[in-house]
C-alpha cells in the first residue's frame, strides 16, 4: 500500500518537475524565437523604409524615418533598373520571370503528375523499373553535370534560347516521389465507378483522379512557382540574354557596384519579393497541407 502511495507521489513530483523544466525550455525558446524573428522583420522593415528615401538622405540618415516618403522610387525602379548589355527592362524581366516560373512549373508538375499517376495506378511492363529509376536518380549524387549540361544545351541549340523551357519536362524528379505517394493514397473505387459509367482512361484521369489530388498538387505548384521565380542561377548560366527579375537585379548590382541608387535598387528588390510573398500568404494553408496529405511519410 505504502509503495503504491510512494509511487504515485514520485510520479506527481516528477510531473511537476517536468512541467517546470518544459516551461523554462519554452521561455528560453520563446526568447530565441522572438530575437530571431525580430532580426528578420527589422531587416526587412529597414529595407522597405529605405526604399522611400533619397540616395543622399539614405547615406546620411540610415535608421530614421524618411523626411519625404518617396513612393516614386518604385516608379523609378521600373525606369532605371535596366540591363544595358541585353537591353532588358524591368517589364521584360517580369515577363521572362513569369515565362520561366509559370511555364516551367506547368511542364514539370504536368509531366510528374502524368508519370506518377500511370506508375501508381496501372500495371504495365517496366513500371517497377521506372519507379526504381526515379529513386536511384534521387539517391545518386551527380557532380560536375553543369559542364555536360552546358555542352548538351549548346548542341541542341537550347543555350540562351527561351525554348530551354522544355528541359523542365522532367517527370522523374523528387516531385514524382511525392505525387506517387499522393496518387497511391487516392481511392481507386471512384475510378471504377466512372469506368462502369462508360468513362475512358483520359476522362477518369482528368475528371476523377486529378480533382481528388488537387490540393497537394496545388501546393506543389505554389512551392515550385516560388522557387522558379526566385531562381537566378539557371538564368545566369543557361539563358543570360533572357534575364528574369531575380537574375536582372543581380547583374544590375554587379555592374553598378559604385553608382547604384540604393533606395531605388531596394525598391526593385521589394518588387521582386512581392509576388512570392503574396502567393504564400494567400495560399499558406494549401502549402502546409502538402506535408500532411502526402510528401514525406513521418
Q: Cβ closer to another protein: 95 or 240?
A: 240
Q: How far apart are CA 262 and CA 60, in angstroms?
A: 13
Mark residues 168-187: x for contact with another protein by CB under 8 A, - for none: -xxxx---x-------x---
52 near another protein, judged by CB under 8 A: no
Q: How many CA atoms lie within 13 A of 179 on its CB side?
A: 29
Say whether residue 282 binds another protein (CB under 8 A). no
22 contributes a contact to another protein by CB under 8 A: yes
Q: Which of 75, 85, 255, 296 binds another protein (CB under 8 A)?
A: 296
* Number of shown-chain residues binding another protein (CB under 8 A): 103
- Residue 88: partners with Cβ closer than 8 Å, 6 or more residues away: 82, 96, 242, 243, 248
- Other C-beta atoms within 10 Å of 129: how many? 10
Contact 168, 103 (CB under 8 A): yes
Under rule CB under 8 A, residue 188 binds another protein = yes
Give the one residue of 6, 39, 67, 72 binding another protein; rule: CB under 8 A.
Answer: 39
| Cβ(213)–Cβ(153) below 8 Å | no
User: Would you count residue 6 as binding another protein (CB under 8 A)?
Assistant: no
* 239-268: contacts with another protein (CB under 8 A): 246, 249-250, 253-254, 262, 265-266
Among 196, 258, 259, 285, binds another protein (CB under 8 A): 196
Angstrom CA distances, 239 to 83, 127, 132, 207, 230, stand at 14, 35, 32, 37, 15
Is position 56 an interface residue for another protein (rule: CB under 8 A)? Answer: no
Residue 244: strand, helix, or coil: coil
The set of cell numbers assigned to 270 is 521589394
Verify binding: residue 277, another protein, rule CB under 8 A: yes
**Secondary structure class of 272 (helix, strand, coil):** helix
Residue 71 found at the interface with another protein (CB under 8 A): no
Q: Decide: is 115 part of the binding site for another protein (CB under 8 A).
A: yes
One residue of 100, 205, 221, 242 binding another protein per CB under 8 A: 205
Choose the binding region for another protein from 56-64, 68-76, 83-91, 206-214 (rule: CB under 8 A): 56-64
User: Rule CB under 8 A: is residue 195 a binding residue for another protein?
Assistant: yes
Tell me the C-alpha distance between 142 and 152, whole Å. 16
DSSP assignment of 139-155, as one string? Answer: HS---SHHHHHHHHHHH
Asked if 4 interacts with another protein (CB under 8 A), we say no
Q: Does 219 bind another protein (CB under 8 A)?
A: no
Amino acid at each position: 500500500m505504502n509503495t503504491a502511495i510512494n509511487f504515485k507521489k514520485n510520479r506527481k513530483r516528477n510531473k511537476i518537475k517536468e512541467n517546470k523544466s518544459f516551461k523554462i525550455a519554452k521561455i528560453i525558446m520563446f526568447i530565441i524565437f522572438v530575437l530571431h524573428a525580430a532580426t528578420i522583420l527589422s531587416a526587412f522593415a529597414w529595407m522597405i523604409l529605405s526604399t522611400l528615401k533619397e540616395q543622399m538622405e539614405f547615406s546620411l540618415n540610415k535608421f530614421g524615418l524618411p523626411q519625404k516618403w518617396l513612393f516614386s522610387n518604385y516608379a523609378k525602379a521600373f525606369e532605371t533598373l535596366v540591363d544595358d548589355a541585353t537591353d532588358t527592362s524591368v517589364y521584360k524581366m517580369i515577363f521572362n520571370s513569369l515565362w520561366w516560373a509559370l511555364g516551367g512549373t506547368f511542364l514539370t508538375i504536368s509531366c510528374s503528375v502524368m508519370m506518377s499517376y500511370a506508375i501508381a495506378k496501372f500495371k504495365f511492363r517496366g513500371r517497377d523499373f521506372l519507379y526504381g529509376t526515379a529513386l536511384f536518380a534521387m539517391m545518386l549524387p551527380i557532380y560536375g553535370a553543369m559542364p555536360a549540361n552546358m555542352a548538351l544545351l549548346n548542341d541542341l541549340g537550347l543555350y540562351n534560347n527561351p525554348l530551354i523551357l522544355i528541359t523542365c519536362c522532367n517527370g522523374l524528379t523528387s516531385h514524382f516521389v511525392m505525387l506517387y505517394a499522393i496518387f497511391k493514397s487516392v481511392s481507386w473505387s471512384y475510378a471504377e465507378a466512372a469506368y462502369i459509367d462508360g468513362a475512358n482512361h483520359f476522362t477518369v484521369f482528368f475528371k476523377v483522379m486529378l480533382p481528388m489530388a488537387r490540393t497537394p498538387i496545388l501546393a506543389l505548384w505554389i512551392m515550385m512557382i516560388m522557387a522558379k521565380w526566385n531562381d537566378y542561377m539557371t538564368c545566369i548560366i543557361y539563358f543570360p540574354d533572357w534575364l528574369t527579375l531575380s537574375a536582372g537585379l543581380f547583374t544590375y548590382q554587379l555592374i553598378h557596384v559604385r553608382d547604384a541608387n540604393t533606395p531605388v535598387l531596394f525598391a526593385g528588390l521589394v518588387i521582386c519579393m512581392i509576388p512570392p510573398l503574396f502567393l504564400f500568404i494567400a495560399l499558406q494553408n494549401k502549402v502546409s497541407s502538402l506535408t500532411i496529405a502526402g510528401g514525406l511519410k513521418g
